Amino acid sequence: MHDQVIDSAEPAASCPACGRSGEPGELRVPLPSAETITTLGEARTAIDGLDAALAALLERRAAVAAVVQRLKPVGGFAGRDPARERQIVEAMAVRAPSLGPERLARIMTAVIETGLDAADARRPR
Ligand SMILES: O=C(O)C(=O)C[C@]1(C(=O)O)C=C[C@@H](O)C=C1
């Protein structure tokens, strides 16, 4: 049930739900379809697998966003780019139509601000 492959330049990560390895630099995750789930236990297992994948993606996203802060002329919260943030949300809304741009904007604002905060905490002083 490995429907999605996410490429990266890092070594292989195992599937958070079933432990199977992908190719080096890939995260392979099962994408359960909600229609086939009939019990609370199945639903929670599916959510746990999706959350494990989300955590791996959030960790990787934060690391990449920290690199962006070092590359930008003005990084961190001072270098916030609302147009870029809107572009990110619009692109995600195509893939997540049931959430839509307003809800995704709330999620991504939290993701982006958390990433900026983590990058700031990691920055050498
Ligand atoms: O693309 C940028 O300029 C970034 O700083 C990265 C990022 C992000 O986390 O995606 C963070 C802050 C900006 O407001 C927009 C996007």
| pLDDT tens digits for range 36-49 | 999 999 999 999 99
The verdict on residue 108 lying in a domain is yes
What distance in angstroms lies between residue 62's CA and the mean position of ligand 1's atoms?
10
The atom number, within ligand 1, closest to the CA of 85 reads 15
Other beta carbons within 10 angstroms of residue 18's beta carbon come to 12
Residue 86 lies in a domain: yes
pLDDT of residue 8: 43
pLDDT at 6: 52
To the nearest whole number, what is the mean pLDDT of the chain? 87
Q: 91 and 51 in one domain? A: no
Q: Which two tokens stand for residue 65?
A: 């966003």
pLDDT at residue 2 greater than cutoff 50: no
Residue tagged 């955590």 (tokens): 55
Q: What confidence tens digit (pLDDT) does each residue in 69-84 have?
A: 999 999 999 999 999 9
Same domain, 43 and 84: no
pTM of this prediction? Answer: 0.84
Better pLDDT: 43 or 27? 43
Range of the domain at 116: 72-125
CA of 34 to the centre of ligand 1 (A): 32
Geometric angle at alpha carbon 17, from 107 and 6, rounded to 5°: 60
Say which residues have a Cβ less than 8 Å from residue 49's Cβ, sequence separation at least 6.
Answer: 16, 17, 18, 29, 30, 32
* Whether residue 49 is found in the same domain as residue 93: no
Number of domains in the chain: 2
